[in-house]
Amino acid sequence: MATKKNTPGWSDVKARLADLDRAGLIGLLQDLYAAGKENQSFLHARFGLGGDVLNPYKATIERWISPNVYKNQGISVAKAKKAISDYKKAVGQPDGLAELMVYFCERAARFADQFGVQDEGYPNALVHMFEQALKTVATLPEDRRPAFWERLEAVSGIGDNIGYGVGENMEELLAKYCADE
C-alpha cells in the first residue's frame, strides 16, 4: 500500500527561506517579480511604487465584472473579487479597500443596468459587495466617508433599474449603515 506524500506547505517554504542570504532572497523576489503581472502588482502595491497602486486592481475588476460584450468576454465575479482580496493581502489600507469595493459596485451596477444580467448570482454578488463597501467605509475617519457615501447612493439609484430586488436591498443597507451620517 502506497503512502500519500505530504504536500509542502508554508512551514516548509519558511524553513528554506531561513537558509537564504540577502542576495539569495533578493534573487528569489526578482524571479517572482518576473514570473507574472500579479506578483508585480503585489510588490508595487506593498512598497507603494509607481503611480496609483490601485490601477491594476481596478483594471482586473473592470475586465471581469464589466466585460466587453462586443468581444464576447465572459463575466467572473470571483476573479473581480480576487483583485480586492489580492490588494488586501498586498497592502490592505482601508481607503484603498473602500475605493476598490465601491468601484466594483459602480462598474457592476452600470454593467447590469446597461446590458442586463440573466444570472441571479451577479446581482446577489453586487448587493453583497455593496454591504461590504458600506461596512468598510464606516470604518474610515469621518472626513473620508462622505464621498464614498455619495458614490454608493448613486449605485443604489442605479440598482432600482436592475431588478431582483437590488435597489430595495441597497436602500435598506444604506439606511442601516448611513443612519448617523
Query: Residue 64 in contact with residue 108, Cβ under 8 Å?
Result: no
Residue 118: the pLDDT is 77
Domains of the chain from N-terminus onward: 11-50 (no CATH), 52-177 (1.25.40)
Residue 141: the pLDDT is 95
Give burial (CB, 10 Å; 0-12/13-18/19+) of 30.
Answer: exposed
Residue 85: the pLDDT is 95
Average pLDDT across the chain, whole number: 87
Q: For residue 153, which amino acid is it?
A: E
pTM for the full model?
A: 0.82
- In order of 88, 124, 126, the CA distances from 10 in angstroms are 19, 34, 33
The C-alpha cell at 18 is 531561513
Q: What is the pLDDT of residues 48-65, one digit of tens each?
A: 777 788 999 999 999 999
Identify which of 84-93, 101-110, 170-179 has the greatest average pLDDT.
Answer: 101-110
Q: What is the pLDDT of residues 116-130, one digit of tens each?
A: 887 888 999 999 999
Distance of CA 5 to the CA centre of its chain: 35
Q: Measure the CA–CA gap between 181 and 2, rounded to whole angstroms.
A: 63
